[in-house]
Amino acid sequence: MDCPSCAGKVETSLGDLDGIARYETRPTAGTVVASYDAATLSARDLVRAIERAGYEVTSVSGDARADIESPAGETTAGDAPESVWRSERAIKTGVSGGVALVGLLVEFVTTGVNAEVASVLGRELFVADLLFLAAVATAGATILRSGYYSLRNRTLDIDLLMSIAIIGALAASLGFGAGLYLEAALLAVLFSVAELLERYSIDRARNSLRELMDLSPDEATVRRDGESVTIPVGDVEIGDVVLVRPGEKIPMDGTVVEGESAVNQAPITGESVPVDKIEGDAVYAGTINESGYLELEVESEASDNTLSRIVEMVEDAQAAKTEREEFVDRFAARYTPVVVTLAVLTAVVPPLLLTEPVAVELVAGYAHTFPAAWNVWFLYGLTLIVLACPCAFVISTPVSVVSGITSGAKNGVLIKGGNHLEAMGEVEAIAMDKTGTLTRGELTVTDVIPLNGNTEADVLRCARGLEARSEHPIGEAIVEHAADRAIDAPEVRGFESITGKGVEAAVHGTRHYAGKPGLFESLGFDLSHVHAATDGGVVTTKSQQLCERNDCLDLLEGTVPELQSAGKTVVLIGTEDELEGVIAVADELRPEAKATIDRLHDLGVREIVMLTGDNERTARAIATELGVDDYRASLLPEEKVGAIEALDDAYGGVAMVGDGVNDAPALATATVGIAMGAAGTDTALETADIALMGDDLSRLPYLYELSHAGNGVIRQNVWASLAAKGLLAVGVPFGLVPVWAAVLVGDAGMTVAITANATRLGRIEPAELLDGVEGTR
């Protein structure tokens, strides 16, 4: 099933069944998805219906596997088909082509052997004619069989049209002596070649999805009853412990329970650098264990792991029709009947009106002589019949969508429909959440400024003791930072939380405080005159840069505002008598964030807006550092929706990038909702239109460029195929388009060209923005 118009036979045949609830043909994937009442129908009934449409069922998936084996004896979906060029049809086409070539030599080169050998219905048959008839019989049998099924299922497709053309040529030759045996042979042979080329081209487009399906291994090694056994992946159960050796693919989603290793997650998330995995980390089916030995506990069935969900969503995405597809389908539904009618009129009307050749001056100095011979006009009509099927035109959009979606999936970008691919290529504004999208979403210590003779270690040791019992994210960040530097926690007694200001406790018997600058002002400190840390009596370089008088800091007007203006939260550490240090905490920017913003601007995005619930000062600092065009601060979730609506009104479409959960209302409101870091996250995969599987913002410029290129390829394919059909049809009455050109150029040539153009999308790859590579390779 190679094109949407040809799939009509399957749709008609399935539609005649009682008990079928829903069916959907997916020509670009070569599959049919059907839901049916098992009490009324069986899987065998569905297979028989498809076979009545003239197609062979080569694999069965889902619940139907238990009911039936496919004609090939296999029930595993996704198996690679046999090579087009080794198929039975290819062999017959080769034989037929050889016979036709001999016929051409006999008729035009070795004319002496072209003797009369028979007479049928009073018409003489020569050696060459018999050879042409043999070619028709060899290559045409498959065409006529398909044409019969098309007629039976009331589908006016290319098989029925070609059958009409071949039978018409033979009828005119035997019944009226038109001598169109050569034309009938050319139609049969060249159309068979065209079909093989079309099938080969479509298979190339399908291979990208098949590669995704092949990422997961077929077998897994599990520990059962104290022994390691290798079993099919489908037999692995939730809770099983799977053993993965170095270099092996991880067969199931799970959590590491023993071992550590670097895992190549590129097949799922698109990350170019392997990710270190230790006990407790999640791993995904289809990823590759690079170096160490891992044992993982299975958390989902093979049919419900991350890779399976990606494949399923990619298949669903290919089935969803875009606006351009719907336009093409509507156009094609009118195109075929119009051209068939024109073909009939071409074959019948001119011979009735013309008694002798007529010369007509078309443009100054050029005249064309229209023949009066009815057999010439009949051949013109057959040529138009060949051009009446819009296969190449109809497939121009879906094959491009398939290529774009599968290319994205292989690079860690899950696009859940061709309409979203198209829409992303049209947006001129992008809104981006701050926390978790432009930043890492985790607070970290960025600055430690010791004061009054203390060292950085002294400040962190005291801060770790004070914050050890705090549940505030800032306190947790300070404790983690100190622990990473192997700074021990001191003895702490009498811990108390000061609501809205900080904490206090006795450290080594002395009362200490940690909190906002206002807490220390309330304790009577003059924050405008604080002695900086020194190194052997010399002011440290860092303190010297911050201190206006080289031996003291103005915390109130200088240091604190400077840190806050950089989007950082300031925590002071000290006793009732002395300030010991300043610690700044911030949600760090992603290292690729600024390069991503710059690249998006280079690609033509007119407006990039940061949306955040943070305060104005922090939002302004981050917006300035990143170079976004605008920002909105202190936003509640419903206010983010309002910001998206305003951008949509101003630019006629907006993409929203968020974490897929907290930003769900804004993602749903945007023209295109894009979720960050969606691998293994059910909610993000379900809510977003597009999911960036890895926690890597640099995939966003790749997505934007892929969608723009995809839209360009679709436009090129649609208009090129339409123009080719139109020009060929116009040239037919003037004798400019022989029947072989209609077959090879109008059908095979355009299909191959369109598919080749679509596969260019697979060559677009994400760039490593941090390596200084701007753009997309």
C-alpha 676/C-alpha 556 separation (Å) is 38
Buried b (16+ CB within 10 A) or exposed e, 177-192: ebebbbbbbbbbbbbb
Task: Please state whether beta strands 429-433 and 607-611 pair in parallel, antiparallel, or not at all (unpaired).
Answer: parallel
DSSP 681: -
Catalytic-role residue among 129, 433, 554, 663: 433
Tally Cβ neighbours within 10 Å of residue 174: 18
Place of tokens 């198209």: 422
Closest CA to 378 of 190, 189, 183: 183
Which residues have CB under 8 Å from 748's CB, separation 6+? 190, 193, 194, 195, 197, 198
Which amino acid is present at 367? A
C-alpha 597/C-alpha 432 separation (Å) is 10
- Structure tokens, 77: 């979906």
C-alpha 456/C-alpha 83 separation (Å) is 69
For residues 21 and 195, the answer to whether their CB atoms sit within 8 Å is no
- Structure tokens, 194: 């065209």
Count H helices and E strands in the chain, helices first: 25, 32
3-state secondary structure at position 495 = strand
Tell me the chain's radius of gyration from C-alpha atoms.
Answer: 36
3-state secondary structure at position 695 = coil
DSSP 744: I
- Structure tokens, 697: 């913002």
- Phi, psi values for residue 267, rounded to 5°: -60, -25
DSSP 774: -
Would you give the distance in Å from CA 127 to the centre of its chain? 55
Closest CA to 396 of 32, 7, 753, 763: 753
DSSP 437: I
C-alpha 131/C-alpha 135 separation (Å) is 6
Which amino acid is present at 432? M
433 is a catalytic site residue: yes
For residue 716, CA distances in Å to 252, 393, 486, 637, 702 come to 41, 11, 61, 41, 21
For residues 710 and 344, the answer to whether their CB atoms sit within 8 Å is no
Would you give the distance in Å from CA 48 to the centre of its chain? 34
SS3 sequence of 547-610? CCCCCEECHHHHHHHHHHHCCCEEEEEEECCCEEEEEEEEEEECCCHHHHHHHHHHCCCCEEEE
Mind telling me the catalytic residues?
A: 433
